[in-house]
Amino acid sequence: MKKLFLLFLVFGITIIIGCQSKENLPPESKISTADQRIDSLFRSRYAQDLFQGGVVITQHGKTIYENYLGQADRSWGIPFDEEVKLDIASVNKSMIAALSLKAVEEGLLKLDDKLVDLLSDFSYKGHFHPEITLHHLLSHSSGLADYDGVSEELRQDSFLKFKRSRFTNEGYVDFISQIEPINEPGKQFYYSNFAYHLVAIIIAEAYSKPFAQVLEEKLAIPLGLKNTVSEGFNETVIPKLAQAYTYQEATNQWMETPFIDLSLSRRIFSTASDLNRWAQVMDNPGWLTENSLKLMKQNHQARISKSISYGYGWVIFDEENKSEMGDLGIEKPYIIHGGSTDGYKSMLININSGEYVISFLSNVGDKTNEMQLAQKIIEILIK
């Protein structure tokens, strides 16, 4: 990762926004569009090393707060700005789901397609339940396991060996096929990252292109998300990519997250600004049809769970649907998804069809409590 930012210096890329130190924070009076209480909240979190990254809050599409705080790379002293990308972690599920629905609209996939048929060109030693469909994968009702299903050896050091395995798509399908399932499809909600990893592979197969290329051509370029990318080659330098850190209490030191394999293209990197624009797409038929957007924001768990409300890539809250996940304690309807992976934290919320959209990304690991921070923002905006 250090090589990524060294490249910035070699080519003289100038960082124009962000704060290199707490002493260099711009005065509050210069943030003319910011809600001062939100600004105080983020400055306080930054001062306590509880947040470093980017935040954008819009109201009916107009930016009311935007700020970039802290270090994107501590080794090189590179501050955050509006173009520095972070891993969006599980917020990527809304994009993966949307791309699968785009393929459905284009006649390449169907929601009731069976997983075994979608993977018919792959050979694998294990087994997938013959009734698992694309719908089951997208709604976390496939019965597939999550990371807790891998062997004890692969769980060591925060799954480091597993995360550094250079899987091909076929190798990964084979790997997942050998993990014991949790249940039969359609029987329960069980959050499975593996299910969404398979969807990314299915999308790549549907378009006969690497997932990273599909993301760029079908989503990022049409929607103007110029800082939203994926990558399938470890040798490729991703421009302006933030390093992630975890804090070691025993040594009082920040530790750089070890390099994680990119070969499956299942990771998506973006900015708070791009994510905010992405959430607004959910209210505006055009790129996706009204029916596809409805499917993304519809609770598909109503028959199998009373405690979870999940659509396709979003947790759903409205008059009829509540959820243990993502509860902000407000009456207004909203969709929400957060994420956490290898020192990166993410949060994306669309309240009342764009009345407020909140997006933030941080690179200081478990120091950032993304749900608590979101609730604090909500207390200021709504309560």
User: What is the mean pLDDT of each successive set of 10 residues along the chain, which is 383 residues long?
Assistant: 36 35 40 73 97 97 97 96 97 98 98 98 97 98 92 76 84 96 97 97 97 97 98 88 94 88 83 98 98 98 95 97 96 97 96 98 97 96 85
pTM, entire model: 0.90
Would you state the pLDDT for residue 13? 33
* 157 CB-near residues (< 8 Å, 6+ apart): none
Residue bearing tokens 């930016």: 63
21-54 pLDDT, tens per residue?
Answer: 333 444 443 344 448 999 999 999 999 999 999 9
Closest by alpha carbon to 288, among 269, 263, 313?
A: 313
Question: Alpha-carbon distance 214 to 232, whole Å?
Answer: 12
Q: Give 148's Cβ-side CA count (13 Å radius).
A: 7
Would you state the pLDDT for residue 304? 95
253-280 pLDDT, tens per residue?
Answer: 999 988 777 776 689 999 999 999 999 9
Question: Alpha-carbon distance 219 to 182, whole Å?
Answer: 32
* 323 CB-near residues (< 8 Å, 6+ apart): 307, 308, 309, 310, 315, 316, 317
Would you state the pLDDT for residue 35? 84
Closest by alpha carbon to 312, among 172, 187, 141?
A: 141
Would you state the pLDDT for residue 22? 39
Domain architecture of the chain: domains with CATH:
87-258+284-322 (3.40.710.10)
Q: How far is CA 168 from the centre of its chain?
A: 22
- Secondary structure in 3-state letters for the chain: CHHHHHHHHHCCCCCCCCCCCHHHCCCHHHCCCCCHHHHHHHHHHHHCCCCCEEEEEEECCEEEEEEEECEEECCCCEECCCCCEEECHHHHHHHHHHHHHHHHHCCCCCCCCEHHHHCCCCCCCCCCCCCCEHHHHHCCCCCCCCHHHCCHHHHHHHHHHHHCCCCCHHHHHHHHHCCCCCCCCCCCCCCCHHHHHHHHHHHHHHHCCCHHHHHHHHHHHHHCCCCCEECCCCCCCCCCECCCEEEECCCCEEEECCCCCCCCCCCEEECHHHHHHHHHHCCCCCCCCHHHHHHHCCCCCCCCCCCCCECCCCEEECCCCCCCCCCCCCCCCEEEEEEEECCEEEEEEEECCCCEEEEEEECCHHHCCHHHHHHHHHHHHCC
Question: Alpha-carbon distance 251 to 26, whole Å?
Answer: 31
